[in-house]
Amino acid sequence: MSRQVVRSSKFRHVFGQPAKADQCYEDVRVSQTTWDSGFCAVNPKFVALICEASGGGAFLVLPLAKTGRVDKNVPTVCGHTAPVLDIAWCPHNDNVIASGSEDCTVMVWEIPDGGLTLPLREPVVTLEGHTKRVGIVAWHPTAQNVLLSAGCDNVIMVWDVGTGAAVLTLGPDVHPDTIYSVDWSRDGGLICTSCRDKRVRIIEPRKGTVVAEKDRPHEGTRPVRAVFVSEGKILTTGFSRMSERQVALWDTKHLEEPLSLQELDTSSGVLLPFFDPDTNIVYLCGKGDSSIRYFEITSEAPFLHYLSMFSSKESQRGMGYMPKRGLEVNKCEIARFYKLHERRCEPIAMTVPRKDAVSRLEEEMRKLQAMVQELQKRLDRLEETVQAK
């Protein structure tokens, strides 16, 4: 009887733990805009949620500890004249947040410690240059005051927030169609983009040149997402020709064939990837799904290993991802998500069990395997008895 060998991994038993009801943010009116962004951004101080607003665009900013029911008259950030599509906290200053909107502008806001007491209508700086709605904003991971924005005018602009000037513009000659996703490399030396023309591009922003590109990483026509992962690799999510959702891992120096390509399911929601460079785990959160899948990336074949899946009853309208600085590491927390429901924001902690808990799980698994083997032996003896009669 052959024994199945289970791959050894420190993160094989990672599990998701949803917060209790009193630790959630209740009665928030999440935006109904049909745009494939997370609608949520978090840092160790605040949680920001794009919400429904009449006569313009707005988003909520709440202190992280202010859980429970949110007053319907709570002050919002409401300087945009059209719906907000994307928000991002500055990684260098927990009080600064950027927002992109359908009004073709990017605005940078400063949130006072303790949160808002009055509606915030005046941004620190307004960045104007796009001619169509701005759907993506992303801060540079290592350089201060550098912000990237991508609009439906097929233009990517890199801004110096201190002066309010665009220091780089990648026009429609680089992306001839709608830009689906943009991601900085960990050191900020490269950006990775996915476009409606079915191409994934790796761009060196200092020169404004495309250093590598892949045509049709996924055969389907639906949106593709691409993010940088470890050791010069990128991960893409998309759809097959039969509309099955896929996840693929690529070596940026050899984009001819994927290192790994896995089919997941036939759901229609776009998968939002979140990568943790400290653990080499990538989390896939589908809009409209009720689950979070997570995979471990290794340096040896088959490179992409499915770990497990967190499931709940309610589907998610958006998702926020907490930086590592905001986690409770003394509770073995390795990631935390903020899941948006129709009227609620629910924190979900991803935790690695302590070694003694893992040992108990493995001991229980061995007992179950022994029971299965004993039952198989009894079944074999029973079959022999029946054949003998």
pTM of the model: 0.86
pLDDT at 238: 94
| 308, pLDDT greater than 80 | yes
Q: Tens digit of pLDDT for each residue in 224-247?
A: 999 999 888 999 999 999 989 999
Average pLDDT over residues 307-333: 91
* Mean pLDDT score, 270-278: 92
Distance CA(319)–CA(231), nearest Å, equals 26
Least confident of 8-22, 168-182, 267-281, 347-361: 347-361
What is d(CA 70, CA 62) in angstroms, rounded to the nearest whole number?
9
pLDDT at 325: 92
- Residue 5 — pLDDT band, cuts 50, 70, 90? very low
Report CA dihedral (312, 89, 322, 319) to the nearest 10 degrees: 10
pLDDT score of 2 more than 80: no
The contacts of residue 303 (CB under 8 Å, 6+ apart) are 233, 249, 259, 260, 297
Average pLDDT on 15-36 reads 90
Question: Among candidates 189, 273, 169, which has minimal Cα distance to 224?
Answer: 273
CA–CA dist 263, 225 (Å, integer): 15
Task: Look up tokens 């993160």; give the residue.
Answer: 11
Looking at residues 118-127, what average pLDDT do you find? 95
Over the chain, what is the mean pLDDT?
Answer: 90
pLDDT at 39 over 80: yes
pLDDT at 4 over 50: no
At the top level of CATH, which class does the domain 19-173 belong to? mainly beta
pLDDT category of residue 36 using cuts at 50, 70 and 90: confident
Region 352-362 average pLDDT: 66
pLDDT tens column, 168-225: 999 899 999 999 999 999 999 999 999 999 999 999 998 889 999 999 999 988 899 9
Q: What is the mean pLDDT of residues 236-262?
A: 93
Residue 38 and residue 285: Cα distance in Å, rounded? 9
Binning pLDDT at 50, 70 and 90, where does residue 356 land? low
pLDDT per position as a tens digit, 285-298: 988 888 999 999 99
Among the listed residues 135, 207, 195, 201, the one whose alpha carbon sits nearest the alpha carbon of residue 167: 207
Give me the residue spans of the domains in the chain. Answer: 19-173
pLDDT-derived band at 357 (thresholds 50, 70, 90) equals low
Rounded to an integer, what distance in angstroms lies between the CA atom of residue 385 and that of residue 380? 9
- The span from the CA of 291 to the CA of 115, in Å, is 31
H or E stretch including 373? helix 355-388
Q: Is residue 42 exposed (0-12), middle (13-18) or buried (19+ Cβ within 10 Å)?
A: buried
Using a pLDDT cut of 90, give the percent of the chain over it: 69
Amino acid residing at 185: S
3-state helix, strand, coil in the chain (%, to 5): 10, 45, 45
